[in-house]
Amino acid sequence: MRCFRGLLAVAMVVGVCAVEARADDAAEPEKEKWTSLFNGKDLDGWTPKITGSEFGENYKNTFRVEDGVIKVAYEGYDEFGGRFGHLFYKQPFSNYKLRLEYRFTDKQCPGGPGWANRNSGIMLHCQDPKTMRKDQDFPVSIECQFLGGFETGERPTASVCSPGTHIVMDGQIITRHCNNSTSKTYRGDEWVKLEVEVHGNGKIKHFINGDLVMEYEEPQLDPGDPDAAKLIEANGGEKRLSGGYVSLQSESSPVEFRNIEVMLLED
């Protein structure tokens, strides 16, 4: 009888452990689900808007796919001529992580402004590109700015710029157009890994090669910007930005993008 009771106690303990193990397994978070936004073959799902051109017109084949990467190139240009470009993904996002790799290549297009040398980026919370003026240089958006280093001097990347927008840092509204990140300088043509984490109108974080280099929150439209003012009026006076399109930049410096992926987050 004692032996039976002992075996019963052991069985009960084993059963409880098994249930707890199954509960632990169920509690384990699912692996991150990343979705590719670029098929490596063509610009399917992506549409250009270049200053002076209609939405959908790829002036001088500025954006193209070669060797499995999206390239921004200027072989067809005699000079840049203020043709700032943005390549928009077809779908807007609000709460998400987005990651990609970029690198700068070749020399700046003749006539490009000095500040745009080895300068590109990805625009977040963009206005609908169909609402952009034909001669509009930049969409109203939040820019995660990519900067390539020169031979000497420091030049951090994944900084934030704000065409037609403001952000909040340390509880203060920031109206300065560009604000530097804490990243190191990346020179030459090496691939750099970027990840942005976007929580609607909440926090936005920039990571370079896995390191957090920039953080801000409460993106909002700038009522003093004419293009943003139109959006505020169309939105019934609402200034807060909680989502929008993403776009890749062409600012006169040849650049390449690859491994573009998104992971949607819960609200």
Per-residue pLDDT tens over the stretch 168-210: 999 999 999 999 999 999 999 999 999 999 999 999 999 999 9
Write out the two tokens for 238. Answer: 């609402």
Closest CA to 64 of 90, 92, 85, 35: 85
Contact present, 239 and 223 (Cβ < 8 Å): yes
d(CA 35, CA 14) in angstroms, rounded, equals 41
Q: What confidence score (pLDDT) does residue 32 get?
A: 75
Largest CA distance in the chain: 97
Per-residue pLDDT of the chain (267 residues; tens, 9 = 90+): 444 444 444 444 444 444 444 444 444 445 679 999 999 999 999 999 999 999 999 999 999 999 999 999 999 999 999 999 999 999 999 999 999 999 999 999 999 999 999 999 999 999 999 999 999 999 999 999 999 999 999 999 999 999 999 999 999 999 999 999 999 999 999 999 999 999 999 999 999 999 999 999 999 999 999 999 999 999 999 999 999 999 999 999 999 999 999 999 987
Three state DSSP letters for the chain:
CHHHHHHHHHHHHHHHHHHHHHHHHHHCCCCCCCEECCCCCCCCCEEEEECCCCCCCCHHHCEEEECCEEEECCCCCCCCCCCCEEEEECCCECEEEEEEEEEECCCCCCCCCHHHCCEEEEEEEECCHHHCCCCCCCCCCEEEEEECECCCCCCECCEEECCCEEEEECCEEECCCEECCCCCECECCCCEEEEEEEECCCEEEEEECCEEEEEEEEEEECCCCHHHHHHHHHCCCCCECCCEEEEEEECCCCEEEEEEEEEECCC
* Residue 175 CA to its chain's centroid (Å): 21
Q: ∠ CA(201), CA(202), CA(205), 5° rounding?
A: 115
Task: Please give the share of the chain, as a percent, with pLDDT higher than 90.
Answer: 87
Write out the two tokens for 78. Answer: 């005699």
Task: Confirm whether pTM is higher than 0.85.
Answer: yes
Beta carbons within 10 angstroms of residue 266's beta carbon: 5
pLDDT tens sequence across 134-164:
999 999 999 999 999 999 999 999 999 999 9
Beta carbons within 10 angstroms of residue 144's beta carbon: 25
Write out the two tokens for 92. Answer: 């807007």
Half-sphere exposure of residue 255: CA atoms within 13 angstroms, side-chain side: 26
Domain range summary for the chain, segments of one domain joined by +: 1-29, 31-264
Half-sphere exposure of residue 171: CA atoms within 13 angstroms, side-chain side: 0
d(CA 72, CA 62) in angstroms, rounded, equals 6
Architecture per CATH, domain 31-264, reads as Sandwich (2.60)
